[in-house]
Chains A and B, each alone.
Chain A
Amino acid sequence: MPAFELGREPQALSRYDVLGLRADHLNHFVTHVGLLDADNQFLKAGDDVNAVHMQPPLKQGETIKPHVAGSLPLTNEEIKRIAVWIVKIADEYVNSGVKDSKSAQYLISPSWKDVTDPNTGVLRYRRYSCAGFVLDSYRRVDIELLQIDASSLPAVDRRRIVSAYPWVRPSTLPKYGLQGNGPWRIVLAGYVLHALNRSTEEIRRQPYQVQPGDECF
């Protein structure tokens, strides 16, 4: 199974497979995704596991309890390339201790956006959503998991946004890239699991076209 709910039976996962947290009381709505940051694990429901994920800041070396997972057999070469990329950007997301600086690193729409100096155009860092970080990690090895152009994404209304991002005050949505009253065409965490719930060949061949309802898994 390329993507699955973790249950009582341990499931084999490899480094940089996708881990998801979901809210069962929101009908399996996936609230967060990140990458497994450990080699060859057997995971079952309730297990703690190391993850690298965009909280923000970028979290590494801390455990989470995933509810769902998606696995694409990456080659060792691909795993090393993603590892190098994460080392390269990690300094940009260390815990700063300043609340507003941390939230400035996060973005809901689009899934990522470069922050550059306005005069030189030199990149300082890239803002991400949690799903955006996962998608960009796979892009480092030329795997496009999702079609993320706005016309390919379902509209998400304000109520769903509040469910997905309960820590965001509605009045501050523009800060995270959501202008107006919505609905907005954005990438939600659950889409990544559905993208991985295909054959390996298909995942590598073409990005997933999101369907309405894919926010749940």
Chain B
Amino acid sequence: MPDASMPFSTNLSSEKRSGYEFLSKELLASGEGPWRIYGTPSNANIYLPGIMVSHGRLDSDTQSDDTGIPLAKQSVTEFVALKKQINALMEHLRERKRELEETFWSEEPSSDEDQSDEELANPAMDDLTQCPPSDLIAEILNPSAAKDVSRLRELILIAEDTDFSPQESALLAPWLLNFALQQRDSNDPEDTPVVWSAIRTGASMLKPEAADQLRPLLEPGHPIETSLVALKMLGRIFEAQPPTDVDQHLTLAADVRGIATLLLNRYAITISQSATMAQLAIHALAATASSEAIPVAETTRELKVAWFTQGTTRELRDLREAWQSRSTPVADGPRELLDAVMRTLTEN
């Protein structure tokens, strides 16, 4: 085994182009690369992962053609054998490098660099991702768009990253929510992210007075589950656009209260999905300034599940901060109701 206590490296340069450029000279010189030189100049070993390459004197003025590292004076026979070994090991290292790259970089996003030249030059994809909002909306709303399902899916996903005008939003939001309503019975897994994206984008465009449009999407029991996304977006609509008074959305609040009532028990909330739904329901009730939030908070407190109460309180705290950060003060009624819900959750 090499003497690891005595590593050293050399810095003799070569004018010749290296065939092993993937092994940077910085790495070789620093000793941080995949090989090491151990021992003393008069009796050294070159050590590659798992395999001893050679040993001999390194204080020679002879250099290898490729690495710039001086080789020991050896017989021609030894030199040829050494070169064969090195070539085999270089192949081994190239293979290792490929493995390393797969390990490291395959964990990263597959975006720009993964696109082939052909893909990068594909005007169809470029048109989709960079086309103006007016063109995008025209394509989505075109009745014949449904004939090309995969293209329509792409258009809907891209719409989520697109800024539309209020007029365009007024056209697109109902279309997207209706699309989600129709497609949630699809059994094609490729539809799942598209339906969820359509709900997020469509709901994000809604004014509070139009929030009732989300009610049908709160209904459970479809192949593509839409209630969690709809419930979440309901809360977000009112977080960004606070209600002007309490109990302005009675029917909607009754639906949400129903969800909370079903899920707020110690068995259901041990399951993360149910706990999430229950927490979103409380958040939505508080955000819509529904007085139903008070009895729901009482039920939550009586469960005596500390982590759930803490998590819910944290979400409501974020809601209060969002309202407080607005330039226009939130009306007294909704703000006082939110404070009351938070007090109810935490009082002994």
Given contacts A97-B193, A103-B112, A140-B314, contact A80 B103 (CB under 8 A): no
Considering residues B32, B107, B192, which has the most beta carbons from chain A within 10 angstroms of its beta carbon?
B107
Q: Which of B113, B153, B233 has the most CB of A within 10 A?
A: B113
Stretch from A152-160, A163-171, A196-204 contacting the other chain = A163-171
State the 4 A-B residue pairs at the shortest beta-carbon distance, nearest first: A77-B307, A103-B111, A117-B204, A122-B204
Contact of B272 among A31, A83, A140, A169 (CB under 8 A): A83
A96 and B311 within 8 A (CB): no
A92 to B111, CA, bound (A): 18
The answer to the question of A205 belonging to the interface, with a C-beta cut-off of 8 Å to chain B, is: no
In the complex the two chains form, is B204's CB within 8 Å of A123's CB?
Answer: yes
List A residues 24-54 near B (Cβ within 8 Å): 24-25, 27, 31-32, 53
For A123, the chain B residues whose CB sits under 8 A away are 204, 236, 239-240
Nearest-Cβ distance from residue A60 to partner chain B, whole angstroms: 12
Question: Which positions 118-144 of chain B face chain A at CB distance < 8 Å?
Answer: 125, 128-129
Nearest-neighbor residue (CB-CB) of B167 within chain A: A119
Are A92 and B113 neighbours in the complex by a CB distance under 8 Å? Answer: no
Check: A65 CB closer than 8 A to any chain B CB.
yes
B196 touches A94 (CB 8 A): yes
The interface-forming segment of B76-84, B156-164, B340-348 is: B156-164
Interface of chain A: mostly helix, strand, loop or mixed: mixed
Instruction: List which B143-197 residues lie within 8 A (CB) of chain A.
Output: 153-154, 157-158, 160-161, 163-166, 169, 190, 192-194, 196-197
Residues of chain A in range 74-111 having any CB-CB distance to chain B below 8 Å? 76-78, 80-81, 83-88, 91-92, 94-104, 106
Contacts of B205 in A (CB 8 A): 117, 119-120, 122
Contact sample, A vs B, 30 pairs, CB 8 Å cutoff: A22-B104, A23-B100, A25-B27, A56-B109, A76-B307, A80-B275, A80-B311, A84-B311, A86-B272, A87-B273, A88-B232, A91-B228, A91-B229, A92-B200, A97-B193, A101-B160, A117-B163, A117-B169, A117-B204, A119-B165, A119-B166, A120-B206, A122-B204, A122-B205, A124-B201, A140-B311, A140-B314, A168-B112, A168-B113, A172-B111
